[in-house]
Amino acid sequence: MYFCNMNLKPYKFRPVLKTVIWGGEQIVAFKGIDTDLHGVGESWELSGIDGMESVVDGGEDDGLTLTQLIDRHGAALLGGQVYQLCGNRFPLLVKLIDAHRDLSVQVHPNDEMAMRMHGCLGKSEMWYVIDHEPDAHIQVGFKQAITPEDYDRHLANGTIMDVVANHESHRGQVFFLPAGCIHSIGAGNMVVEVQQASDVTYRVFDYNRLDKDGLPRQLHTSQAREALNYSSYDECIGQSGATINDGDVLVACNHFVVERHEVAGTTRLDMPESFLVMICVKGELEMVDENGSVTTMRQGETILVPACLSWLDIRGNATLLTAHL
Q: How many whole angstroms from its chain centre is CA 144?
A: 26
* pLDDT tier for residue 2 given thresholds of 50, 70 and 90: very low
pLDDT score for 235? 56
pLDDT at 34 over 50: yes
Which amino acid is it at 133? E
pLDDT at 243 over 80: no
* pLDDT tier for residue 217 given thresholds of 50, 70 and 90: confident
Per cent of the chain over pLDDT 90 is 88
DSSP output for 213-233: TSSBPP--HHHHHHH---SB-
Tens-digit pLDDT profile for residues 263-302: 999 999 999 999 999 999 999 999 999 999 999 999 999 9
The catalytic residues are 203
Which whole-number Å values give the CA distances from 164 to 79, 131, 264, in the listed order? 40, 22, 39
pLDDT at 202 over 80: yes
What number of other Cβ atoms are within 10 A of residue 268's Cβ? 9
* pLDDT tier for residue 7 given thresholds of 50, 70 and 90: low
DSSP output for 114-167: HHHHHSS----EEEEEEEE-TT-EEEEEESS---HHHHHHHHHHT-GGGGEEEE
pTM as predicted: 0.93
Contact 262, 310 (CB under 8 A): no
C-alpha R_g of the chain: 20
Ordered structural domains, the chain, with CATH: 11-243 (2.60.120.10), 249-324 (2.60.120.10)
Tens-digit pLDDT profile for residues 248-266: 899 999 999 999 999 999 9
Lowest mean pLDDT among 95-104, 226-235, 283-292, 315-324: 226-235
Contact 96, 47 (CB under 8 A): no
